[in-house]
Amino acid sequence: MAHAPSSPRQGPPTPEVKDPPYTGETPRVPGTDAQHRDQTEVRSDIGRYMDSEMIYCKRKEFESHYLPFNPTDDDINGCMEHLKDGWTASVMNPTGLKNVWADYTRVPSASWSTELAAFKPLKKIIRAIETYKLKGVYNEVKDRNLSEFRYREVNNTPLKADTFAKHKIDGCLTTEWDKKIILSETSIAVPMEFKLKQVDRLSNRIQLVGDVNHVMTEDPRRMFMYGITIEDDRFTVWYFSRSHSVKCASFSFVEDPSSMVVVLLSLLFATPEELGFDPNVTAIKVDESTSYVYAIPQPTGEPKYFLAKAALSEFRWLCVTGRTARIYNVVEVASPSDLKPLGRPRVLKDVWLDDTCKTETTIQREIFEDIETFALSPNWREDKCLKLFPEAAMEALGQMLTDGKYKKLFLTPEYEYEGKLCKAVYDGQGKAFPMPGMLIKKPNLDTAATASHTDTASQSAAGTKRTAGLQPLHPSPPVLPARVNPVTREYRQKRRCFFVYEEVSTALHHLPKLKEAMSVILQCLVALQLLFCAGWVHRDISSGNILAFRSDDDAPWEVKLSDLEYAKRFPGVDKRNSDPKTGTPFFMPLEVQSQQLLSSREEDEDEDPDMTRLPSDFTEEHTILIQSILTAVLIKHSFQHDLESIWWIVLWLITMRVDHAISRDYAKDIFQNVLVPSQDRHTALKRNISTPLSRILHQDLSNFVQPMESIRKFFISIYKKRVRVGEQMDKSSYGIAHAHMWNQLNKLKETADVWGETIVYVPRKAPAVVEIASDGSSGDDGSEDATPETPTRSHAKRPRRDEDEYVPESVAQVRTQPVITAQKKGRRVPVNAGRVSTRRVAVATTRVTRSGTAKAAAGSRSANSVPPTTATLPGGSSRSAKKARVV
């Protein structure tokens, strides 16, 4: 017998999809930071963000395309018959030609008054299905065994979680299905939420989305997840991925038992990978602490394994979809079961990229090829782009273009891995389509997506926390509403990529002194000049993407320009992508953020013609040109936009990062993580800034007033003149901007003895020294950043944890940083992370003198089992070492 017909409830009609006109580059939308709020407090925000990501799919199509596998009629009917025999006979009662659940002859709300009582029989039903033996071969897996993930009724019991997880769930599929074990969130494969009344479906959906969001944020093993919601008799299965998320059409599990059997068979007998667990990321548990080992597959031979130590940058995202970049300080180890360090520390970047996106290493190779081509030109000094460059700038360029020295201005990739693509949106006509309003009360098809990305003043810069080290990217900067309208989204497939870099660097915003930060910024100007010569724009300059590296404590800081994933040739071929991406609103160029050209006559001031070759004639022809440009709203990221981001960074450093209340109060409304730039931000760039800076800057920083005003005024002038004469796409017209910024910022070196020692970053406390007990517990007091006004990446960023506070300032220092290991009771060791989180192995040492041998757990492993194994951590003897368990 095949599927029984579902109850006569029709899905919503397929909306007529009309693509609005779209011009310009890929839309950019900033997001919000969940900060320190508990998961229950951010659920509504998650729903608001996720609403524009949701796809509605018909049930049959969902089963065939999204479920781990689609059971055959033989297995469906076989399971139904199984539920009528033996001890399982009490589960299903055949009534005539119709199969009926023994405990659900009526909808739950007609038989029970509480959710706990109404959905308690589900345990018996699912336990019975777990005893069935599959006959079919699915996804080339023969003799499928029951998964390690079994059903557990949770009944609103609090979860054991690392951070912010005060939320509760109703049920789940988990490896911790024994009720004697306190349920941990990372053990959950399929969360379930139940409501007795259908009118509560919105809150039920938001609870599920919050559950999934939290697990996928906390656990880097997850590529995608499934979830289940039940409101009265309406059963819905959900699919969440980094590309898109899908709600299946609901059905009545009372009237259509076979449809529920289809879903449960597929989930209960799925392999871990089919349930979204990445086989290249392994959880390692010691006592109550968890860390992760990344496997980087190699073209030949065994994979390279890297143990994630401190998280240099993680987000607490409010949206499942997107790049969701994670960046870790890692050390190479022998295997997940043998954590003996094999080399010096490195940095690992874990990010999801669109199927059509080039990787950062590929883009870097192309940039290097173009720089090399420019360098090999015998007359490169005569290039018209460099016509107005000062001699000092030309000398700096010449040094970098000799013998490939320019490469040291960028990170050095060591290993790279590109995973397979995630599922595409089901492409059957009229079977799967965006549906705003699933997760918000009053959907509006024209504005739902925009509303879902709108920030509030309370989520501005002053309240956000920066992450340490590398600053990641992730989907979504300001755009016209139509650009993120869900009916125009492509929902492109994504693949997971791992990159390992040689240099353990420090973000610009973690350099303690202003002279160090400005030195790195001046070096960054050289890197941007090289990109300019090669014809590339970076398109995402921020304090987190400008990194600083030094080989030892006495060496000077060297710039490492990172995050080249947005870099493009200029002007390049306009290959737009309707899926929004992120930028850093703190430092985003005003034209890009506001999607308006700086060409309005009402903003004109006395223009400074110094050094500019652009004519000032403003003819009727130029007026027509401006009108056509404004009509098209074509804001193409230019070389000057990259330089403007540098200007915003310097302004941020001298106002928000200094312990000076007046300057912070002035700048707090300029630097906000919001969709639309504030009036204060417009004013800062469009109007004379020397007067306010003279009034509010710390007295030691007064020398910054004139250069900042000069750059601002000059930039506004040439922005407008370039539009007037139609030279926006002329590469050579941007050389003047580079020359002027170089001159002005280099003048500051003459007064560095006045402002250089100004502190722009101070951790409240030094790295904690903690007592490590034999059980791996710690009693430390973590530290936090003393300067909270920090830029956030666009999308919900996890607040920096205490363990991420201390960023090593050199490779030599990094080499002495703790290696995760076991310790004997009472030994004092420095912990570079402050508090030892439950997401990390709990104990550390600065030397490795001994290592034990791996001891794998005995027993066979089926295709869909996750057996616990043990690993000896470095530094312990065979007698005293604790064991790491693969979970």
- For 189-256, the DSSP string reads EEEEEEESSGGGHHHHHHHHHHHHHHHHHH-TTBSEEEEEEEETTEEEEEEEESS-EEEEPPEETTT-
Mean pLDDT of the chain: 77
pLDDT, residue 472, reads 29
Query: Of the ranges 224-233, 390-399, 535-544, 851-860, which one carries the lowest mean pLDDT score?
Result: 851-860
Q: Which amino acid is at 90?
A: S
CA distance 478 to 30: 7
Q: Scanning the structure block, which residue is given the tokens 């020294």?
A: 769
pLDDT, residue 339, reads 92
**Position 549 confidence tier, pLDDT thresholds 50, 70, 90:** very high
Q: Is the pLDDT of residue 860 over 60?
A: no
pLDDT, residue 441, reads 74
Query: Of the ranges 105-114, 311-320, 457-466, which one carries the lowest mean pLDDT score?
Result: 457-466
Contact present, 803 and 858 (Cβ < 8 Å) = no
Q: Is the pLDDT of residue 120 over 90?
A: yes
Contact present, 453 and 484 (Cβ < 8 Å) = yes
| Sequence-separated (6 or more) residues with CB below 8 Å from residue 602 | none
pTM score of the predicted model: 0.76
477 three-state secondary structure: coil
Q: Is the pLDDT of residue 615 over 50?
A: no
Contact present, 268 and 175 (Cβ < 8 Å) = no
pLDDT, residue 337, reads 92
Q: What does the CA dihedral 303, 304, 308, 309 come to, rounded to 10 degrees?
A: 150
pLDDT, residue 476, reads 31
CA distance 848 to 331: 13
For the chain, the C-alpha Rg in angstroms (whole number) is 29
pLDDT, residue 310, reads 82
Cis amide bond preceding 874, omega within 30: no
**Position 883 confidence tier, pLDDT thresholds 50, 70, 90:** low
CA distance 37 to 634: 38
Query: What is the mean predicted confidence (pLDDT) over 622-650?
Result: 71
**Position 598 confidence tier, pLDDT thresholds 50, 70, 90:** confident
Between 181 and 808, name the one with better pLDDT. 181
- Pick the closest to residue 839 from 379, 310, 345 (CA basis): 310
CA distance 52 to 487: 9
CA distance 705 to 635: 29
CA distance 230 to 194: 5
| Strands 171-174 and 827-830, sheet pairing | unpaired
CA distance 851 to 821: 10
Between 656 and 781, name the one with better pLDDT. 656
- Pick the closest to residue 316 from 839, 887, 842 (CA basis): 839
Contact present, 129 and 79 (Cβ < 8 Å) = yes
Query: Of the ranges 207-211, 461-465, 555-559, which one carries the lowest mean pLDDT score?
Result: 461-465
| Sequence-separated (6 or more) residues with CB below 8 Å from residue 21 | 482
Q: What's the distance, CA 852 to chain centroid?
A: 36
As given in the structure block, the two tokens for residue 624 are 């027509």
pLDDT, residue 583, reads 58
pLDDT, residue 753, reads 97
Task: For residue range 711-760, list pLDDT tens digits in order.
Answer: 999 999 999 999 999 999 999 999 999 999 999 999 999 999 999 999 99
**Position 167 confidence tier, pLDDT thresholds 50, 70, 90:** low
Q: Is the pLDDT of residue 444 over 50?
A: no
CA distance 461 to 467: 13
**Position 495 confidence tier, pLDDT thresholds 50, 70, 90:** very high
Helices and strands: H and E segment counts in the chain: 22, 30
CA distance 246 to 64: 13
Which residues on neighbouring strands pair with residue 499, listed in sequence order? Answer: 349, 416
pLDDT, residue 675, reads 74
Work out the widest C-alpha separation in the chain, in whole angstroms: 94
Residue 368: how many CB atoms within 10 A of its CB? 16
Task: For residue range 840-854, list pLDDT tens digits in order.
Answer: 332 232 233 333 333
Q: Is the pLDDT of residue 20 over 70?
A: no
Domain spans in the chain, listed from the N-terminal domain onward:
56-277, 356-422+512-574+583-755
Between 313 and 135, name the one with better pLDDT. 135
What's phi and psi for 790, nearest 5 deg?
-125, 140
Task: For residue range 263-300, list pLDDT tens digits in order.
Answer: 999 999 999 999 999 999 999 986 677 899 999 999 99
**Position 73 confidence tier, pLDDT thresholds 50, 70, 90:** very high
CA distance 48 to 35: 17
Share of the chain above pLDDT 70, in %: 68
Q: What does the CA dihedral 293, 295, 296, 298 come to, rounded to 10 degrees?
A: 150
Contact present, 198 and 234 (Cβ < 8 Å) = yes
